[in-house]
Amino acid sequence: MVRRLTVTIFFLYAVGVVAITVFPIRVRSAAYWTGEPWWTMFHWIPGDVDAPSFVLNVIMFIPLGVLLPLLRPSLDAVRRLAGCAAAASSAIELIQFVLGMTLGSRRTVDVNDLIANTAGALLGLLILRLAVPSRRHRAAYGSGSPPSPSPPG
């Protein structure tokens, strides 16, 4: 029951992230972007971002850092979770790039989004670890079974 609820929350969260990062898709004719090269969609300079946008990207990925380790205990590790968050963020940026190139939506591909999203997931993991300090309890929560008692000693 608990696992099913966690999976449902994760699914709704993922749908919400897609709704925020991909939609609405604004289709524009090629004439709209005449004179502006496609590479202007890329923002590669870390730190060159407005603070509200960065903070919102961090907040958006906090639930990922809480939910993934509950669903996959192997992701209850900083490096693994960071890799997964960076991959998810990269997928979003790639989708935005492809939509920009094919439909003309021209959403920017920003390295700062990748940094903020990964940081948000790691902050989520920290929050989870503070809320449930025992790794065994976190793993048991995600599986839906109570943790086994620790041996006396």
How many secondary structure helices (H) and strands (E) does the chain include? Answer: 5, 2
Structure token digits, residue 138: 């976190």
The per-residue pLDDT for range 35-66, each reduced to its tens digit, is 677 666 667 777 778 888 899 999 999 999 99
Of 94 and 141, more confident: 94
Sign of CA dihedral 95, 100, 106, 109: positive
Tell which wins on pLDDT, 98 or 26: 98
- Rounded to two decimals, what is the model's pTM? 0.82
Cβ-defined contacts of 71-77 (< 8 Å, 24+): 71/3, 71/6, 71/7, 71/10, 71/142, 72/142, 73/135, 73/138, 73/139, 73/142, 73/143, 76/125, 76/135, 76/138, 76/139
Q: How far is CA 58 from the centre of its chain?
A: 9
How far from 115 is each of 64, 66, 75, 81, 105, CA to CA, in Å? 14, 18, 18, 13, 23
pLDDT at 153: 52
Q: Looking at the DSSP assignment, which residues form a beta bridge with residue 109?
A: 42
E strand or H helix that includes residue 42: strand 42-43
Domain residue spans in the chain? 2-143
Residue 22 CB-density burial (10 A; 0-12 exposed, 13-18 middle, 19+ buried): middle
